[in-house]
Structure 1
Amino acid sequence: MTDIRVTARPGAHQGLLHIAGDVFPCALGRAGLVAKKREGDGGTPVGHFALRELLYRPDRLEAPSTALPSRPIAPDDGWCDASGDPAYNRMVKLPYPASCETLWRPDGLYDLVVPLGYNDDPVVPGAGSAIFFHLAKEEGDGLGATEGCVALRLADMHAVLARVTPQTRMTIGLA
């Protein structure tokens, strides 16, 4: 089994993603790695997480080569981030009556997005939602911070997705 290890670099939101002998620069949450994740804190949670499935935006990209279950997203797909809502940390259809994130983004960050198995079995209200492995935004000479996710450049994401399986785990910040 090919697992992924994510470590922090100097600078709160910079990291390295290690897989099968290769290392890729990655972006982390604006608050860096956090041991106790809370909704809206900007931290990337420390732990071991499953890669649930690949969601992709079919009007921009073809489904990449991966062994993960894959499905296209649509303009009305969202992810609930309202901690008091029954759909908290779940995919929803827009418009949705509670606060949620739109997956069909104009900036392309979710053109490829893998929900991580964080706070989803069971869901704990307020413990953080929408922790994804997605595409990074370029910022200056590096990658811009996320809201708590792990993000890679497009070419690096393709290289990683080609190596993962449904059994792959992402270990963030642990030896």
Structure 2
Amino acid sequence: MVYSAGRLRYRGQYIAATCGRGGVTDDKREGDGATPRGTHSIAGLFYRLDRVAAPSDWAQPIYPGDLWCDDPQHPAYNLLCRAPLEASHEQMRRADPQYDVVLITDWNWPEASPGRGSAIFVHQWRRPGASTAGCIAMARGDLLWLAAKAAPGTRLIIR
């Protein structure tokens, strides 16, 4: 899978996609809104079982109380956690559909360096062409197709 200039290529198919509002960077930092350049891997697949069918047999459900810690000072930084969590975090079970299906990348994971950035996901965009906080985003149909085809370890090259 290769992401560049607003598109992603996988298995010969091109998919319209967006990256972080801070562009693509070689020096990713927590909160900079940028997408880290380089070769990464798909490390996980999560889905909202109350909204979509499992896109693949390795997909894991997102349950109420699932969180992703984005506090560089917390021991669970850049990991899936459960509520309650007093540290800064993202809700994995969102009211909007952006995280109905989420491919997790191995950026700064599973052993995170504090401040190097967290939660670099591949997910549904808010609207066509809308930037993210550092993730890769695309249309729901394209994301469902990708989630059904990709496997753990699938390379994600961001340039």
Q: Quickly name the TM-score band, shorter chain normalised.
A: over 0.9
Cα-to-partner distance string for 1:75-129 (whole Å, 9 max, x where unaligned): 1000000001100001111120111000010111000001100001431000000
Q: Report deviation, 1:167.
A: 3.1
Give the whole-Å Cα distance in 1 for the aligned partners of 2:80 and 2:149. Answer: 25
Matched, 1:95 2:95: no
Q: Report deviation, 1:21.
A: 1.2
Q: Percent identity?
A: 39
Matched, 1:49 2:49: no
The 3-state SS of whatever aligns with 1:51 is strand
Matched, 1:6 2:3: yes
Cα-to-partner distance string for 1:42-92 (whole Å, 9 max, x where unaligned): 00000111111210001111111x36x211011100000000110000111
Give the whole-Å Cα distance in 1 for the aligned partners of 2:76 and 2:150. Answer: 28
Count of residues paired in the alignment: 159
Aligned counterpart for 1:82 among listed residues 52, 68, 71: 71
The 3-state SS of whatever aligns with 1:40 is coil
- Residue 135 of structure 1 aligns with an amino acid whose one-letter code is Q
- Residue 157 of structure 2 aligns with an amino acid whose one-letter code is T
- Residue 103 of structure 1 aligns with an amino acid whose one-letter code is M
Q: Report deviation, 1:39.
A: 0.2
Aligned counterpart for 1:163 among listed residues 142, 149, 152: 149
Aligned counterpart for 2:62 among listed residues 58, 73, 78: 73
CA RMSD, Structure 1 to Structure 2 (Å): 1.1
Give the alignment's TM-score, normalised by structure 1.
0.87
Give the whole-Å Cα distance in 2 for the aligned partners of 1:20 and 1:120. Answer: 25
The 3-state SS of whatever aligns with 1:162 is helix
Give the whole-Å Cα distance in 1 for the aligned partners of 2:95 and 2:120. Answer: 19
Q: Which runs of 5+ in 1 are unaligned?
A: 9-14
What residue in structure 2 maps to residue 28 of structure 1? 19
Matched, 1:150 2:136: yes
The 3-state SS of whatever aligns with 2:142 is helix
Q: Which runs of 5+ in 2 are unaligned?
A: none
Give the alignment's TM-score, normalised by structure 2.
0.95
What residue in structure 2 maps to residue 11 of structure 1? none
Runs of 4+ with deviation above 6 angstroms: none
Q: Report deviation, 1:147.
A: 0.3
What residue in structure 1 maps to residue 98 of structure 2? 109
- Residue 154 of structure 2 aligns with an amino acid whose one-letter code is T
